[in-house]
């Protein structure tokens, strides 16, 4: 699908919008592959379920730190997982002020389905990256590192 942006002489001015479009399509299509596998939580909560499943128990703050996302955003996703019966929140036995998240029995089953589907998705993304001749994951990581090392403004001022 070609847009006016693709032909615009200043198309780099639209790069953030183009990246948002890629994210929107991946999220939408990710929902479809999760639904197809019987995964009953939104694709945007996958990273939280993976971390809880891998670590056994974790706090929302731990997830926010691991993902580099705001605590409030992670908390909203956790609430969806609690409402769907995938995650429980319990008091930390070592610190009464801290709440621990863990998978419910349903959550363990959902985590297993998710892991199986992600194994398949890894192969799909590998084929996609080969088709487009670009590992998007690696490019995103390198881009973030480069921009954190030297901002766009710093780069502009050095021209």
Token reading at 135: 């590992």
- In this prediction, residue 57 carries a pLDDT of 87
CB 80 within 8 A of CB 43: no
* Burial class (CB within 10 angstroms; exposed 0-12, middle 13-18, buried 19+) of 138: exposed
pTM over 0.85: no
- In this prediction, residue 1 carries a pLDDT of 64
- In this prediction, residue 93 carries a pLDDT of 84
Q: Which residues of the chain have pLDDT under 50?
A: none
CB 6 within 8 A of CB 39: no
Cβ neighbours for 73, distance < 8 A, ≥ 6 positions apart: 64
In the chain, the domains with their CATH numbers are: 4-133 (1.10.10.10)
- In this prediction, residue 141 carries a pLDDT of 94
């Amino acid at each position: 699908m070609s847009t006016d942006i693709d032909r615009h002489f200043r198309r780099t001015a639209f790069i953030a919008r183009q990246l948002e479009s890629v994210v929107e399509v991946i999220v939408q299509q990710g929902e479809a592959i999760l639904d197809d596998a019987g995964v009953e939580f939104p694709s945007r909560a996958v990273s939280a379920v993976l971390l809880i499943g891998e670590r056994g128990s974790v706090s929302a703050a731990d997830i926010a730190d691991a993902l580099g996302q705001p605590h409030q955003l992670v908390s909203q996703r956790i609430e969806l997982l609690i409402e769907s019966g995938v995650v429980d929140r319990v008091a930390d036995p070592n610190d009464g002020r801290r709440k621990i998240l863990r998978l419910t029995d349903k959550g363990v089953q959902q985590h297993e389905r998710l892991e199986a589907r992600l194994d398949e998705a890894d192969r799909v993304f590998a084929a996609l990256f080969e088709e487009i001749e670009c590992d998007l994951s690696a490019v995103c990581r390198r881009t973030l590192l480069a921009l954190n090392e030297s901002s766009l403004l710093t780069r502009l001022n050095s021209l």
